Chains A and B, each alone.
Chain A
Amino acid sequence: MNPFFSDAKNVMLRVLNRLEEWTLVLVLLALAFLSFAQVFCRYFLNFSFTWMEELSRYVGVFIAFLGASIGVKYGSHFSMDLVYERVSSDRWRHALKAMVNTACGVLFLVVAWYGWEQAMKLRRFGALTAVLQFPKFWAYLPVAFFSITMGFRFFNLTAKHTIAFVRGSPFNAIKGGNP
């Protein structure tokens, strides 16, 4: 690839990665401060945000899917890797990992597809949320969107393991770092 484009791609990926991580942390912190403000207002100013409960539920969905997608990148989803330690050759471990990750990727693309369908259905019905009176399909979009990113991240892992399988590189070379 042209070095300029390759650089541009890397910069863009880094910016996107940063963006999603900061979004996760800042949204969580903002929500914590809002909840705190809610308690404060209720006891000292005698009024409360009626929309807080609903907002936090939908943001919760957003957080879980966003974080789960980041989690795939860092390999922080719990799994049982005992078998890999038993299957002796690194090559076969890569092959196994590649297959498992493909299956994961396909599954999440399916979830994304149906998540999108569900969101569109809600949009057609014009469903609104109870308190905020906001179109409800927005709450479903994170499910679809981050299932797609999760799916692609699993495929990315598949690609890495496949290349490693072909080249016969050691297993520990591919590992999710810590965030």
Chain B
Amino acid sequence: MITTMILCFFVLLILGMPIAVLLVATTAIALMAYTSTSLLVLPQQLFNALDNSILLSIPFFILSGSIMTKGSMARRLIAVVNSIVGCYPGGMAIAATLACLFFAALSGSSPATVVAIGSVMIPALIKAGYDERFSIGLVTSAGSLGIVIPPSIPMILYCMVMNTSVAELFMAGILPGLLIGGVFIAYTVFMAYKNKWVAVERASRKTIFAALREGIWALMLPIVVLGGIYSGMFTPTEAAAVSVVYALFVELVISREIRLIEVPQVCMQGAVLSSCLLFILACAMTMIWLLTAERIPQQVADFVTAHVNSGWLFLLLVNLLFLALGTVMDNVSAMLILSPLFVETLNRFGIDYIHYGIIMVLVIEYGFLTPPFGLNLFVAMGLTDKSLLEVSRGVVPFLILLLACLILVTYVPQISLFLPETFLR
């Protein structure tokens, strides 16, 4: 059965069937050919997969992200960090990275972060005399932190298919996110010294305070959302809803950047996109249901433990597998389908689901920066009018740094597990 399913999956994939549809199609074919179960289970499973209250946090986080991207929050954040670190060598590039880190804590999506920060920062960096390729590469790559630092949409998807705690995985993402951000900043400083990039004058205290006052609403949001989740005040879904209302309030009432009549227009693309994500999740879970019912995860675990003798090697192979799969399908879909297959294997090797989840998120982040599915690259192309090749070239040094971080996070589980183990277990 598994051979038929794999074959069917790849044939349909190559023929260009949408991934969501081909998951259902593969399941339907396997059901008809190998079981006596009625296809009535298809709508049942699609329904059951969506019948979960955590799931709505995905459209909510995407909506608040699109509102903030359209509004003024990103610009204000940039003003704050720029006034504080702008005076150091490479200061503006450091500010760009920090702004990405902060915006990542507001939004759960990585392309959105690139749009929000990149549309302001890339032209500003180039104008200030920074190398063009470096500037584009930096913001495109740092924007991918959007999914590592909570809130994060791929993390919610992972928790849905793996049945783990969103709060724990969110918290586990903080240190790896800061690690990657720190490495990017270190590289920036190194490049700034090497190329003698200019620093602007130190901003006066007054300017800093003015920027802070303007940016306070944006700076408060992560505290409200994450603080709310960890103090037990609200569930992740409620936190996402609060962030939508908060973002709307700030943009409509405080800064008046968006008019009420524009709100549905601003939300439209995000709403459709998030529904498609929910739908692909439902389809993936339908297929997972069949695979689990047929005890495929056990078979996978038997196979893996027969050939691979340590968790270390297994994690290395998983990383390589995903990096390779990233060339034929997007890593989010790959994660949705494959992770549940490895559940039993993870148990046998004693690998923590949370740790594994962070590895998945970093692999997805890597996928966002590589063709052919690198959304960040396409967004950066749209922002700068450069070709895919030029943008990719700019990203290469950061990709290497990111790979180094991926290895570090894979083999030092404490980076991901320290915070959740200290505070939540």
Contacts and interface: CB of A to CB of B under 8 A. Distances in A.
Query: What DSSP secondary structure best describes chain A's contact surface?
Result: helix
B55 A60 contact: yes
A37 B12 CA distance: 45
Contacts of A110: 28, 39, 42
Interface string A41-61: 001000000000100111111
B19 A143 contact: no
Contacts of A117: 40
Interface residues of A, number: 62
Contacts, number: 190
Interface string B1-24: 000000000001111111111001
Contact of B276 (A57, A61, A68, A140): A68
Interface in A93-130: 96-97, 99-100, 103-104, 107-108, 110-111, 114-115, 117-118
Contacts of A65: 275, 279
A38 to B, nearest CB: 7
Interface in A149-166: none
B264 interface: yes
Interface stretch (B89-97, B164-172, B326-334): B326-334
A103 B17 contact: yes
Contact of B14 (A38, A83, A144): A83
A179 B269 contact: yes
A108 B234 CA distance: 37
A83 B16 contact: yes
Given A32-B244, A178-B269, A107 B275 contact: no
Interface in B102-128: none
Interface residues of B, number: 59
Contacts of A143: 43, 46-47
Query: What DSSP secondary structure best describes chain B's contact surface?
Result: helix
Interface stretch (B235-243, B298-306, B315-323, B344-352): B235-243
Contact of A140 (B12, B43, B241, B244): B43
Contact of B19 (A21, A79, A144): A79
Nearest to A35: B241
A64 B330 contact: no
Interface stretch (B56-64, B213-221, B394-402): B56-64
A100 B271 contact: no
Contact of B52 (A57, A59, A77, A118): A57
B263 A114 contact: no
Nearest to B265: A25
A68 B269 CA distance: 12
B30 to A, nearest CB: 13
A108 B79 CA distance: 50
A69 to B, nearest CB: 9
B18 A104 contact: yes
A20 to B, nearest CB: 10
Nearest to B333: A78
Interface string A63-77: 111111011001011
Contacts of B407: none
Contact of B18 (A33, A78, A139): A78
A91 to B, nearest CB: 15
B25 A26 contact: no
A83 B15 contact: yes
